[in-house]
Amino acid sequence: MSSTLDVDNDSPAHPGEHHDHGPSDKQYFTIFWVLVAITVLEVSTYWWDDILNADTEPVAVPLLIVLMVVKFFLVALYFMHLKFDRPILRRIFWAGMLTAIFVYVVALSAMNFWQDSGTVQFNDPPPAVSPPTTAEVGGATAGG
Amino acid sequence: MAEVADLANDEIADVEFPDDTHATSTGISNEKLAMWTYLASDCLLFGGLISTYLIYKNRPGTIPGLAGSPVKISSLFNIPFTSMTSFILLMSSLTMVLAVNSTIRGDIQRTRLWLVATATLGGLFLGGQVYEFTEFVREGMGFTTNVSASAFFTLTGFHGVHVLVGVIILLSTVAISFKKKVVAEQVETVGLYWHFVDIVWVIIFTIIYLIP
């Protein structure tokens, strides 16, 4: 059993890795509490309509997207050390991320996701939702 | 062959590299580079799954030729419960970075402690996901009930598999630390994977669960 752990500074294969860069434990806790606060704000939007007795969707949805992006960057830059690591790693990750965003924005646009073009498959308004009856539930379970 | 390998290692050991560099053309270890490349490619996988759900989420049972229940799976979401599991996953990211910092300090005991804590929180998240799936099926919303359910289960199921693999890697790292020395970069590379799983959940939780 090993009671000590190599910090790797003397390793011929990985010298100097895990050096002095990156946040301290205290800074990590600070980032964590910021993430928790953002999450609480995000979750609270679920009850905004009831609390304010109004349609808050036009405000809540853009806010949720902004908060999601902030959380994403906090985790990627600090927890994943992208802010402190070599630029090539940032380029690799952002290349993958941006490619995915580009490809799927194009795909969603091709499916007319952003507007109602009247296509039966994708753009007709969703059907009126009715609560499942016992027969439906039983049938769905049996079928699925 | 073993002698040749030892000789090669001895030769490598004689080579001195400046701080913060590796014996590679990029100056970054191959393992770390490979992990980042994998994570970049995984963005495409989850991008595809999220897009598929977005396309189908409001159109259950309306696609010609694909019969199914008209009930949207989103009508069954339990936001308070999912918020709790999201918080658990967020907390596991904190324990993961604490494990990495412990490794950097050379504190093997705390490294193991934080790695086990991270794996435990990951296990709790998985338990929550299994419970959620079970509730959906109990409500009559199975994998093939309609296209929105299929897209949802595929997306969250793939994420769950990623978490499961992460838990296995974390526990394997703890087990390896009892057998041989664990270098800090190994723990950091495991951490990269774990944080990516957390990042993906940040997106899923917002786009799938919170945005109506």
Tell which of A55, A79, A103 closes a domain: A79
Tell which of A79, A98, A122 closes a domain: A79
Quote the ipTM score.
0.83
- Residue B105, chain A, CB below 8 Å: the answer is yes
- Residue A17, chain B, CB below 8 Å: the answer is yes
CB contact under 8 A, A19 and B19: yes
Q: Give the count of alpha carbons within 13 A of A29, CB side only.
A: 3
pLDDT for residue A46 is more than 80: yes
Pick the CATH number of B34-210 from 1.10.10.60, 1.20.120.80, 3.40.50.300, 1.10.10.10: 1.20.120.80
Task: Note whether residue A9 is domain-resident.
Answer: no
Same domain as A133, residue A108: yes
Q: Quick one: pLDDT at residue B118?
A: 97
Task: Note whether residue A71 is domain-resident.
Answer: yes
Same domain as A96, residue A136: yes
Closest-CA distance of chain A to residue B179, Å: 6
pLDDT for residue A14 is more than 90: no
Closest-CA distance of chain A to residue B110, Å: 11
Closest-CA distance of chain A to residue B63, Å: 6
pLDDT for residue B30 is more than 90: no
CB contact under 8 A, B140 and A19: no
Domain count, chain A: 2
Q: Among candidates A67, A24, A12, A19, which has minimal Cα distance to A43? A: A67
Which residues of B fall within a CB distance of 8 Å from A39? 83, 86-87, 90
Give chain B's mean pLDDT. Answer: 86
CB contact under 8 A, A96 and B16: no
Task: Note whether residue A38 is domain-resident.
Answer: yes
Domain parsing of chain B, residue ranges: 34-210
- Considering chain B, what percentage of its residues have pLDDT values greater than 90? 63
- Domain with A62, as residue range(s), is 21-79
Average pLDDT over residues B199-203: 96
Same domain as A91, residue A71: no
CB contact under 8 A, B86 and A88: no
Same domain as A41, residue A73: yes
Same domain as A125, residue A104: yes
Same domain as A26, residue A69: yes
Task: Note whether residue A119 is domain-resident.
Answer: yes
Average pLDDT over residues B56-85: 78
Q: Among candidates B212, B202, B198, B196, which has minimal Cα distance to B54? A: B212
Tell which of A33, A55, A79 closes a domain: A79
pLDDT for residue B157 is more than 60: yes
Q: Which of B105, B108, B113, B199 should one mutate to test binding to chain A, selecting the residue with the greatest count of A CBs within 10 A?
A: B199
Q: Quick one: pLDDT at residue B7?
A: 43
User: Which of B40, B51, B202 minimises the CB distance to A71?
Assistant: B202
Task: Note whether residue A8 is domain-resident.
Answer: no
